[in-house]
Chains A and B, each alone.
Chain A
Amino acid sequence: MTTVTAPATGGHRRADKPEVSDRARAETRLGQRLVAPAVILMLIVTAFPMLRAIYLSTFDYALTAPDDRNFIGVRNYVTALTDPLFWQTTGVTVLYMVITVAIELVIGFIFAMVMHRVIFARGVIRTSILVPYGIITVVSGFAWQFAFSYQNGFINGWLPFVGDDFNWFGQTGSGIVAIMVSEIWKTTPFMSLLLLAGLAQVSEDMIEAAKVDGATWTQRLTKVILPNMRAAIMVAVLFRALDAYRIFDNIFVMTAGAVKTESISFLTYRQTIEQFQLGMGSALSVLLFLSVLLVAFLIVKLFRVDLAQARQES
């Protein structure tokens, strides 16, 4: 698609400046050639399989019986959308997203404030905050699963209001809490670094001026600092929310979807890879894709995120 040059533009340009037109055309050609490999690579693994998923989702197709493939139209979608399991996992997924992002935003902001103000030990703080960011999600999942385990963990011993033999993975509520803890631990550093960048853009003079005018600390925070880093906060929320909506690794490692802790991603994976139901799995894939689009759309509309403005593009 990017190799298509633009022959029409030449004719519409002002005829009295042919050399500009030539240059512009050469620039367009070079630009399109330079981005072509990236665009092709990105589309090979996303657009093409997605189209194939749409195609496969109209079949009753299991890998265990590949010859027995029947066209059934939208019946996979009807089955999925009328199954309470689908709505239950979607609900759990939204719960993961809302709670983890809200908590990460608060803790991440506090961390960003500390990192912004701190003068001593800056390197140590920044190095350690990158450790959870860099650690494999699976490792984080294991670390917290074992920490919450009543057989070998330490959390039951440390928490005063929890019995020593309390099984965190025995029921939905506490299982979800444990998964959220791992998720929040691993991704809060990312959030706080994004917020730190936003904080650095708030002018110190403005904060100082508010201080001179007698604004309290809370007023400075809510009236000066937060409004001025709105773009950074919104971008951080958007990125993290979409990331949290796709939660998979932690659930796989910590509960394997038991006790109704399953997310929509996990349900899709289970249908496709574990049960070989490619038709149904594809339908779920399409639904997952559409729901991510919906979440992105809602966040962008609700919070009026302007990505171009955040990147300072026109």
Chain B
Amino acid sequence: MNRTSNRVGLVVGCILILIWCLLPVAWIISLSFKSEASITNGNPGFFPGDGTGAGWDNYKAVWDNEQFRRAIFNSIGISLIATLLSVIVATLAAYAIARLEFRGKKLVLTIALAIAMFPVVSLIGPLFDMWRATGLYDTWPGLIIPYMSFTLPLAIWTLSAFFREIPWEMEQAAQVDGATSWQAFRKVIVPLAAPGVFTAAILTFFFAWNDFVFGISLTSTENARPIPASLSFFVGADPFNRPASLLAAGAVIATIPIIVIVLIFQRKIVAGLTSGAVKG
């Protein structure tokens, strides 16, 4: 294959990727500027037609909605706390898996793998029952605990992959100088491992932010209801007649934090996803 056709193929490929990834995003943004009245009458087409643009009205309406603001607040709070705790616990476990020889290591990895594949929906029945009995239903901890459990496998997986590539001679050097295993871990390895920890944190945050099943089944009011659940309950239960443009505005707002994180940490996320899942 000659070079020019190769290059043309690459350019076409790149354009296809960009269209694939960004067209639906452009669409939801465009939809969020269609006026509510025109949506009720039917307003097909990619862009708002003449006289059907809404300016920032939809965004204002969504932002003035108390439930929506609470949902954003819940989502940010719950996701951040779950991420922080999950990463701390996962760091300890991943260090042990990457560095120490101990009985039960295989078992831990098997459990982590099994949970990564666990059908989340099969838990909501018993969890619903248990959470109502223990008072965790419709509270922040009620969501933080399952989020931690389900982000731990990914975090442990990613972190242990990172930890294996750290120059461990430094740890041994510290131990030769008289440090215990624990001191070597805390004073030498933690600073070296910080980038990996950070990556695991981003992936964990994405998971918690994206969760829907726990969000709809373990909450009932705006006390703890996160943003995906809140969006789906925005108006009524009829999926065929929704205030599309308002929902689009809400969806855009809910997506902004993710876009910001992606823009800032693109390189780290790619490294984390690829090293955690495939490479050793």
Contact = CB atoms under 8 A, between A and B. Distances in A.
Interface of A: 1-2, 6, 9, 24, 26-32, 34-35, 37-39, 41-46, 48-50, 52-53, 56, 63, 107, 110-111, 113-115, 117-118, 121, 123-140, 142-147, 149-154, 156-158, 164, 169, 185, 188-190, 193-194, 196-198, 200-201, 217, 231-232, 235-236, 239, 242, 245-246, 248-249, 252-256, 258, 265-266, 268-269, 272-273, 278, 281-282, 284-286, 288-289, 292, 296, 307, 310-313
A135 B25 CA distance: 9
Contact of A194 (B42, B46, B251, B277): B277
A52 B204 CA distance: 27
B104 A2 contact: yes
15 contacts: A30-B96, A38-B156, A49-B126, A131-B258, A136-B255, A143-B248, A147-B24, A156-B44, A197-B277, A235-B277, A246-B119, A252-B216, A256-B239, A269-B124, A312-B280
Interface stretch (B53-61, B192-200, B227-235): B227-235
Nearest to B227: A136
Contacts of A273: 124-125, 128, 216-217
B92 A38 contact: yes
Interface in B220-261: 227-228, 231-232, 237, 239-240, 244-245, 247-248, 251, 254-255, 258-259, 261
Contacts of A310: 278, 280
Interface of B: 1, 10, 13-14, 16-18, 20-22, 24-25, 27-28, 31, 34, 39, 42-46, 89-90, 92-93, 95-97, 100-105, 108, 111-130, 145-146, 148-150, 152-153, 156, 161, 181-182, 206, 209-210, 212-213, 216-217, 227-228, 231-232, 237, 239-240, 244-245, 247-248, 251, 254-255, 258-259, 261-263, 266-267, 269-270, 273-275, 277-280
Contacts of B16: 114
A144 B14 CA distance: 23
A157 B121 contact: no
A53 B145 contact: no
Contacts of A37: 89, 92-93
Contacts of A284: 122
Given A26-B181, A56-B126, A281-B125, A31 B239 contact: no
A63 B130 CA distance: 13
Contacts of B270: 126, 130, 193
A221 B42 CA distance: 48
Interface of A is mostly: helix
Given A139-B251, A307-B113, A252 B232 contact: yes
Contacts of B267: 123, 126
B212 A252 contact: yes
Contact of B45 (A48, A115, A154, A278): A154
Given A139-B231, A150-B44, 9 more contacts: A42-B115, A125-B17, A134-B255, A143-B28, A154-B45, A235-B278, A285-B121, A285-B122, A310-B278
Nearest to A229: B278
A255 B239 CA distance: 6
